[in-house]
Structure 1
Amino acid sequence: MTTVAVTGATGKTGRVVVADLLEHGFDVLAVDIVAGPGDREAMATIGAPLLRADLTDYGQAVDALSEADTVIHLANIPAPGLFPAAHTLNTNLAMNNNVFLAAAHNKLSRVVWASSETTLGLPFDVPPRYAPVDEDHYPYPTTTYALSKVASETTAQHIADWSGIPFVALRLSNVHVEEDYRLVPGYWADARLRKWNLWGYIDARDVAAACRLALAAPVTGAQSFVIAAADTIMDRPSADLLAEVFPEVELTREIGTHETLLSIERARETLGFVPRHSWRDIVGR
């Protein structure tokens, strides 16, 4: 039985990832710095012991991964603007560096970790060069949060080369859970409200599936994949949205009516990732 350490396990995405892994027969060691009595009880109830660890400390990272075979590393400050810019950069880099090095020290078989769509140029105050935006529209960090992910992708490449461990970076779009979808109709009146990520999003359940698929995908070295929903968050055709807000941006291929403008083709081909969930299932448009 494969034991997967999940860092950031008590976060919005982490909880869904842990539950999905358990449902698919993995043993899970949940790791988070936020681990109150309620969190411990909740994780214990579903069968995932919860370890409180500060991953900005290398020794704690080594200990946290010592009983695992693989790691899904989600723990980070999750967005720009939550803390001073330098703190976000330094904290995320410390966590990522320590987890990557601890994985090599403990000879884990794989590292799957949360990079970000922000590495591609978000928010698109400067229009993208083309659409759909894919993995090659990189690196364009515009915040220290995005820079922490870009720098960590470079670090992952070198540690993968040194250790022989495959590293899979998932460039996650804006993660939604079901209760978030009640806000979706409020975006429709003004296309500029969500232009910052080309109207993208991803359901947390599809993030969980991408993480699980990445554990077994035929990947060597360090590879990165855009992970987004199959559609946009808007009720209007994607080509119309692009033409209105970014008229100078060329579509490089024909797209479906509501198809995402964050290309998931590489994830589909290499990971077998097919998003199953949409706001349309909840809102009904």
Structure 2
Amino acid sequence: MRIAVTGASGRVGRAVAAELSSRGHDVVGLDLVPPRTPLDGVEYLVGDLSDLPIADPRLAGVEAVAHLGAFMSWSPADAERILSANTDATVHLVRALEGSAVRRFVLASTGEVYPENAPQYQPLDEDHPRLPTTWYGLSKVLAEEVVAFAGRTLDWSTVVLRFSHTQDPAELLDPDSFFSGPRFFASRRLARERAAGHAAVVAALEPFADDDSTLLVASREDGAPVQMGILGTPDLAHGVVLALEAETTGHEVIGLGPDEPLDLGAFARDLAAAAGLGTVDVVLPVSAPSYTTSNARARELLGFAPRLSRDDLIRLAVAARTERLAAAAGGPGASAPS
């Protein structure tokens, strides 16, 4: 098929485009920014989705779409930008595809639509009420409705994929990572806990304010583990590819996540041991997010099964950190302190 992938310069979009190309598909990558390293065989269209014309002739031959482009923020100050990038841009993309050869449309959505950090029941599944508490979650609820509308009115088969948390293994031990820094590194978690007013947690973390070699081993005051579903980027990308190639009809909503949640505290402890890093135990309030999700529908409808194990994530994370430190020290043969 000729498949358009939005957000093709991002970590998930790039992985999806690469796998599609390797499976013989003709890929058109759309993104606001050009890729750092273009993929061979992928045609890139750089620009804002909101600038696409109705019935864009450049997209006339597209048969399927993976709409992955989005702006992520949990700040109310970004409300207008969030809605513009995630909801309005979806409308513009649908209009740009009017009259095209499209017969299948896959939307990247999120567990923020429930939201995951305030579940009414667990494991969370596709039937859970959508009651978002952030502008980001709301923007995805609205985008889901736009896609369902497009499927009904344009006779497309549509799939909404509600992603669990996605983590590139190479980011797990990178303190500068947008996702992993504040999740696993004591030094990078400090600002978040200060802003939340969690005095006991701040006191435990303050000794590590300038220390990027100590990982946070978190539990909750009620004794429960801090757990969530984490899916490696390669597995998430594969799930998107399966959704594009599937033969479902009508409109389907599918949760895409791991088989089992990760206990983040235990995982951080094992990461630290494998990388030779230190740890600090911290007890978080009972409000700390902890939830499980179901991927039963993804298994049933898409034949999806994660391929990266917990041990794989740790192994790849350590390898990436070793390579990063060697490069910073002056080359592959150089050594660097952990």
Q: What's the TM-score bracket when you normalise by the shorter of the two chains?
A: 0.7 to 0.9
Q: 1:155, CA displacement in angstroms?
A: 1.7
* 8 A Cα contact 1:53 1:61, kept in partner: no
Aligned mates of 2:84, 2:121 — CA distance in 1: 32
- What's 1:115 paired with? 109
> Please, what is the CA RMSD of the aligned residues?
2.9
- What's 1:219 paired with? 248
* 8 A Cα contact 1:29 1:50, kept in partner: yes
Where structure 1 has 5 or more consecutive residues not aligned to the other structure, the ranges are 238-243, 250-259
Alignment counterpart, residue 160 of structure 1, candidates 151, 154, 160 = 151
* 8 A Cα contact 1:112 1:169, kept in partner: yes
Q: 1:34, CA displacement in angstroms?
A: 0.5
- What's 2:237 paired with? 208
TM-score, normalised with respect to structure 2: 0.68
Alignment counterpart, residue 264 of structure 1, candidates 292, 295, 303 = 295
* 8 A Cα contact 1:110 1:165, kept in partner: yes
C-alpha distance 90-24 of structure 1, shift in aligned 2 (>3 A): same
Give aligned pairs, total: 256
Deviations 1:120-161 (A, max 9, x none): 214x2xx41111010111311111111111111112222111
C-alpha distance 63-231 of structure 1, shift in aligned 2 (>3 A): farther
2:107 partner SS: strand
- What's 2:139 paired with? 148
Q: 1:48, CA displacement in angstroms?
A: 0.9
- What's 2:318 paired with? none
* 8 A Cα contact 2:68 2:107, kept in partner: yes
What amino acid sits opposite 1:7 in the alignment?
Answer: T
Q: 1:60, CA displacement in angstroms?
A: 7.3
1:67 maps to 2:61: yes
Aligned mates of 1:24, 1:263 — CA distance in 2: 28
Q: How does 1:236-275 map to 2 (within 5 A)?
A: 245=286, 261-275=292-306
* 8 A Cα contact 1:104 1:165, kept in partner: no
Aligned mates of 2:38, 2:54 — CA distance in 1: 20
1:99 maps to 2:98: no
Q: 1:245, CA displacement in angstroms?
A: 4.8
Q: Matched residues, percent identical?
A: 31
TM-score, normalised with respect to structure 1: 0.80
C-alpha distance 198-166 of structure 1, shift in aligned 2 (>3 A): farther
Aligned mates of 1:92, 1:115 — CA distance in 2: 10
Where structure 2 has 5 or more consecutive residues not aligned to the other structure, the ranges are 174-179, 185-214, 267-284, 316-338
- What's 1:256 paired with? none
Alignment counterpart, residue 56 of structure 1, candidates 50, 61, 71 = 50
Aligned mates of 1:204, 1:216 — CA distance in 2: 18
Q: Which has more radius of gyration?
A: 2
- What's 2:161 paired with? 170
Higher strand share: 2
List structure 1 runs of 4+ shifted beyond 3 angstroms: 183-188
1:181 maps to 2:134: no
